[in-house]
Chains A and B, each alone.
Chain A
Amino acid sequence: MLRLKRLEVEGFGPFAEPQVLEFRDAAGVTVVYGENMRGKTSLLNAIRYAFFGTVLGRGSRVRRLHTISNRDLASEGQFGFSVSLTFDYDGQEYELVRECKPTVKAPSNDEDYAQTVMLRRGTSTLGPQERERALQQIFPKEVSRFFLFDGELLQEYEELLINESEAGHRISEAIERILGVPILKRGRTHLTQLSEEADKHAAKEASKRQETQAIGTALQQATEQKEAHQKEIARLQTQLQELNAQRTEVEQYLQSVQKYASILHERDEAGARLEEAAKDERLCRGDLQKAMGEAWRSLLREPVRAARSAAQADAQKELDAFLLSLRAKAVADGHCGTCDQDVRGAILDRLKASLPEQAPATAPSGRVSAAMSRLADLNKFTEADNTGEIRLLWKRLRDLELEQVTLKDRISDLNAALADSDPETLRRSKASYAEVLEKISVVKRAIEDEGKKAEEKDQNIQRLKKKLDSSGTSDLRATQLRAKMLRDASEVFGAAVDRYKANLRARVEETSSKLFLSMTTEKQDFSGLTINENYGLTIRHRDGRAEEARSAGAEHVVALALMGALQNNAPLRGPIVMDSPFGRLDESHTANVIHTLPQMAEQVVLLVYEAEVGKAKMRDVLKDRLVREYQLERVSARRTNVREVK
């Protein structure tokens, strides 16, 4: 059994300085609380990285190691990270240290890093081959999904209900792997090989004897031909397996980059719009500057108008005074200097009457008046009002500036989302996908053909064997009997595999039903779970019928029940590390799941944010099965510290 003892991370994700989690040597649940972005998933990934050297992102996509370094340290030029994991396995203590260090000063991709691994068992450090063998035995990568998982991975178990699904097939294989089925399958294969060897030996012996030589030789040839076809089938199957793996990898990649493709498209569009907005801004600013060059005229428009009115009024007054002085002079002189005529009689009387009592004493000056001069100066001013234009241009400029800020923010977000993308690989993957599909179809056809040929040969072999049995001597019969016994043993093993799998399925069904009923809030309506050939589970109603429509939350509970059942029935036992597994569950289901966790595995590490489950509730539900609590504390947006909650 595998039990975690201590985890230390440094420079990994948000953990800049060395951070340590110690796991108590007691059955129960260790809870790590942390808000979003604090590093819960990074802790799960740190364990994954220690064992397998890989880190998973969204969609179970492998993340580039270059993106794992703490961003704060990276901004200071310090790249790289390390994870140290201490654990017990079958009564011995192990320490596994995996480091990723840059090989250049400013790394920009995964090729700029080198990884080192150290595995210590007790006091001795294991060599590379022994280390890999030990790690494969302690924690095989193929079954890691049952130990380290998040809500997203749990959703994949719905694939088990779809018989034809490729993902379902993969998961189903992984389930058989954790349950130990391959060991029996290998036993059957070995016995089949031995029986075939014995058949060959019997044919060889027969060919040596005169009376059975012809049949023996024919049998030997037919067996060799069948073997050749089987070898070819095996080779093709290996090739098919590799091609399927390639297809899955490319499919997963293309699925993940499908998202990238749309992000990339959106980023390019935003980039083009940003350029356009910047150009518009430059043009608009130019127009504004041009308008502002004339704005002083707008500012002076009203003051000049007022000054003009005042000057006009003054000029009018001066003109009136001048005319008055001319009339007064004409009255005094009895002669008008303007028209050069004498003024007498009625005209003189009228002029006198038009003069005020105090007639101006000043004589007409004949100079240009100051007011007229002011008016002339003011009239030189070219009047303009471009306030409205400036207002519009200013508003447009502000809108364009705001648009650019928004676009820059959006582009920055999109660039962050694209941080893990690799356009070159995307292009290559698209090209190779069609090629892989074509190869798969060719190999499948070849397997089918070879299978038919091998079957024909086998029918021939069976005919020849019957002939040989009837004409064989006593010492040949012993060889034939040995071959028959091995064939029978192989069949017995084959039947045993089927029986074992049936028993396992029954046990998984029973345990998962128990766990499901412990976790569901609908205990009065459901009687348990029913397992299918692929280990897919359906909810069974008390009326015996399957519940066809299952909610997302119900799927989640079923998946958790399967996880627990596999842990309980597998020869390989270890800790369960769950990252935020309650996202789709309501409060009652969440409480039930927490209550059930200690039944799922002896050691459970739960990574949650407090909005999912608060500390008080966690303590209340788990009681003494809550063995330790940690809090992920924010230092800055890029730094987190781990603190034990006392």
Chain B
Amino acid sequence: MERDRESVGLTPETQAILAELEERGWFLEGQDVARFCMAYAIRAKVPEGATGGTETRWAAGNFDKTGEIRALLAAMYPGCTTPVRMMEHLVNEGLRMVAGRLRSEAIGPAEIMD
């Protein structure tokens, strides 16, 4: 059985995207951006997968203190056996998706949630 990760990491590309989104001042810290983008990806039904070439950013325990996210992923992706890896994948995918939308549309945080 594949071993799960213990932390959530970002690729150089998503690292830059995170900085770009933080620059907007909508979020207090990077983890909030990451959680938002992960949720965006889940809502967009991003399929199960994994992102390679990441560099550690947040410990999984800190990123999901209450365990809600892991429970959620277990429910939404029943076949997934590596929830932290999945969490990381969703964060990276979500960052790309949100950045793509913000680059093409002049919208605010409320509009992107619609």
Chain A interface (Cβ < 8 Å from any Cβ of B): 285, 288-290, 292-293, 295-300, 302-304, 307, 311, 370, 374-375, 377-378, 380-382, 387, 390-391, 394, 398
Contact = CB atoms under 8 A, between A and B. Distances in A.
A378 B74 CA distance: 9
B42 A289 contact: no
Contacts of B27: 289, 292-293
B104 to A, nearest CB: 19
A307 B76 contact: yes
B75 A374 contact: yes
B108 A289 contact: no
Interface stretch (B3-11, B12-20, B30-38, B49-57): B30-38
Interface in B39-80: 39-40, 42-43, 66-68, 71-72, 74-76, 78
A295 B28 contact: no
Nearest to B36: A296
Given A292-B26, A298-B113, A394-B108, A378 B39 contact: no
Contacts of B35: 293, 296
26 contacts: A288-B26, A289-B25, A292-B32, A293-B28, A293-B32, A295-B109, A296-B36, A297-B39, A299-B113, A300-B43, A300-B72, A302-B43, A303-B43, A307-B76, A311-B75, A374-B75, A374-B78, A375-B75, A378-B71, A380-B66, A380-B71, A381-B68, A387-B114, A390-B109, A390-B110, A398-B108
A292 B36 contact: yes
Given A303-B42, A387-B113, A377 B26 contact: no
Q: Which of B25, B38, B113 has the most CB of A within 10 A?
A: B113
A382 B110 contact: no
A283 to B, nearest CB: 13
B76 A303 contact: yes
B14 to A, nearest CB: 16
Given A289-B32, A300-B39, A394-B108, A380 B72 contact: yes
B25 A304 contact: no
Contacts of A380: 66-68, 71-72
A298 B43 CA distance: 10
A394 B109 contact: yes
A300 to B, nearest CB: 5
B28 A387 contact: no
Given A292-B27, A394-B110, A304 B36 contact: no
A304 B72 contact: yes
B43 A299 contact: yes
A304 B65 CA distance: 19
B38 to A, nearest CB: 7
Contacts of B72: 300, 304, 377-378, 380-381
A378 B42 CA distance: 14
A33 B113 CA distance: 58
A226 B42 CA distance: 110
A307 B75 contact: yes
B71 A381 contact: yes
B71 A377 contact: yes
